[in-house]
Structure 1
C-alpha cells in the first residue's frame, strides 16, 4: 500500500547538502518556467493591446508553458527530479517516493522561484502587471475546482508513468516532453475557464505580486487533490511494490 510507504524523513535531511542542492534546483527550474510562461502572456498582451484572451493568445500560452516546462523539468531532472510543481511533489509524497521534509524544502523553493520570477518580470517590463489566475464569467468555484483536479490528475499521472514508474525503461527519456505536452494540452482545454494552473506555485507568484487572492484557494486545493489521487492510484494499481521506493533524485 502506498500509505505504508509515506515517510517523514530524518531531521538532518533538512540541512543535508544533497537536499539543499535539490531545493536550489527546484527554485531555478520554477523560476525559468514561470518567467517564460507568465512573461509570454505579458508580452502577448503588450503586442496585441491586451488580446491575450483571444484564440491566438490561448495557443501562445499553451506553447510557452509547454516549452518552458519541458526545459525546466529537463534541467532539474538529474538533481531534484524536476518537479517544478507543489502538486507533483505532493503526489510523489503520498505515493511514498519522497519524504515530507524534502517535500517541504521543494515547496518553499518552488514558491520562492515563482515569486522571484514575477518580481523580475515586473522590474524588467517597467512595472507591467504580471496578471493573476481567476475564473471567467459563468465559471463557478466548484466548476474550477473540479477542472483543476482533473487537469492536475492528468499531469501527475503522466509524471508517474514516464518518470517515477521503476518499469518505465526507455520511456523515461521522453518524460520532460510528455509532461510539457500534457500541460500545453490542458491549457488549451481549461485556459478559457480558469486559466488552467495545475500548479499552486504558478498561481502563488502572480497572486502575491499583484496582491489579488480572489478564489485563490481553488488553485491550491484542486491541484493538490488531483496530484494526490494520481499518485495513489498509480502506485496502488500499476507499480509493483516489490521494488524499493526510488530516490527523488532518480526521476
Structure 2
C-alpha cells in the first residue's frame, strides 16, 4: 500500500530523478525573469500624471518574455513558469502531485525574487505597485474571476495544442505561439483584471508590495482555467498517432504523454 501511494504521489519518481534540481532551478529562474521583465514594463516613468506604459507595450513584453524563456529552458523543465500551466499538466496526468507541488513552490519563490530585484533596481518614486494586478473597480468579483478563468484556459489550451507530440501539422514555433496567446489575452484583458493568467506573476509583487486586493481570484481563476483546459485537451482534443495500416492521422482522445513534459512551455 505504501509503495502504491509513493508511486501515485510521485515520491518514487522524485527520489529516482537526479535531474529534478535542474527542473526546479529552471522554473525558479524562468519565473524570476518573467516577473522582473514583465512587471518592469508596467512601471510608469512619466510620473503620476503621465500616460504611463501602453497596453501594447505591456502585452508584447509578457508574451515575448515567455516565448524567450521557453526557448531558453523549455528543454530542461518544460518552462511552465506558471502554476496554472502546472495545474493543467497535473490534472491531465502529465505530472505527479509531488513534482507539481515543487514546481509551484519554486515558481512562487522565483516570482518573489523577481519582484524584489525589480524593486531594488527601481527608483522609489517610480516603483508604484510594481505592476501588481487588481480587478478594475467597475467590475464585480465574479466577472474578474471569469475573465482570469477564460484567458488562462486559452493559454493552457495553446500550450497543450502546440506541444502535442502526435500532431504533424504544426510547422511554426511553439514558444512563439504560446507567447502570442499571452500577448492577445493581455491586449484584451488588461483593463479588466490586469491580465495575470499566472498566480505566481501576481503573488510575487503582492508579497513585496503587500497589496492583496482580491488576491484569491488570481489563484482560483487561472488554476481553474488551467485545470479545465488540461482535462478538455486530454479527453477531447488530443491527437492520436497515425495507425500503422493507414496513411493519415485520425484524432482520438488518446495520445503520447511524455512529449508534453519535455516540450510544454509557459
Relative to the length of structure 1, the TM-score reads 0.89
Displacement of 1:205 in angstroms is 0.4
Counterpart contact for 1:29–1:84, Cα < 8 Å: yes
Out of 71, 75, 81, the position equivalent to 2:72 is: 75
The answer on whether the counterparts of 2:234 and 2:254 sit within 8 Å (CA) in structure 1 is: no
Would the aligned equivalents of 2:40 and 2:131 in 1 still touch at CA under 8 Å?
no
Aligned to 1:183: 182
Helix, strand or coil for the counterpart of 1:46?
Answer: coil
**Hey, what's the Cα distance between the residues in 2 that align with 1:30 and 1:230?**
21
Q: Which residue of 1 aligns with 2:246?
A: none
Q: Give yes or no for the alignment of 1:26 onto 2:23.
A: no
Native 8 Å contact 2:165 2:256 kept in 1: no
Aligned counterpart, 2:136: 136
Cα 1:124–1:14, aligned 2, differ >3 Å: closer, same or farther?
A: farther
Which of the numbers 220, 231, 245 marks the counterpart of 2:257?
245
Q: Report what 2:213 is aligned to.
A: 214
Alpha-carbon deviation of 1:139?
0.7
The answer for the alignment partner of 2:153 in structure 1 is 153
Contact 1:37 1:61 in 2 (8 A): yes
Q: How does 1:1-251 map to 2 (within 5 A)?
A: 7-11=8-12, 13=14, 16-42=17-43, 45-47=44-46, 49=48, 51=50, 57-127=54-124, 128-129=127-128, 130-163=130-163, 165-169=164-168, 171=170, 174-239=173-238, 240=240, 243-246=255-258, 248-251=261-264
Alpha-carbon separation, structure 2, partners of 1:70 and 1:35: 15
Q: Which moved more, 1:86-95 or 1:233-242?
A: 233-242
Radius of gyration: which is bigger? 2
Cα distance, 1:109 vs structure 2:
1.1
Residue correspondences, number? 241
Q: Partners in 1 of 2:213 and 2:17 — Cα distance?
A: 38
How far residue 31 of structure 1 moved from its aligned partner, in angstroms, is 1.1
The structure with the greater share of residues assigned to helix is 1
RMSD between aligned residues: 2.1
TM-score if structure 2 supplies the norm length? 0.84
- Asked whether the 8 Å contact 1:111–1:201 carries over to 2, the reply is yes
Q: After TM superposition, where is structure 1 displaced by more than 3 Å over at least 4 residues in a row? A: 47-53, 240-244
Question: Aligned-pair distance for 1:136?
Answer: 1.3
CA drift of 1:76 comes to 1.6
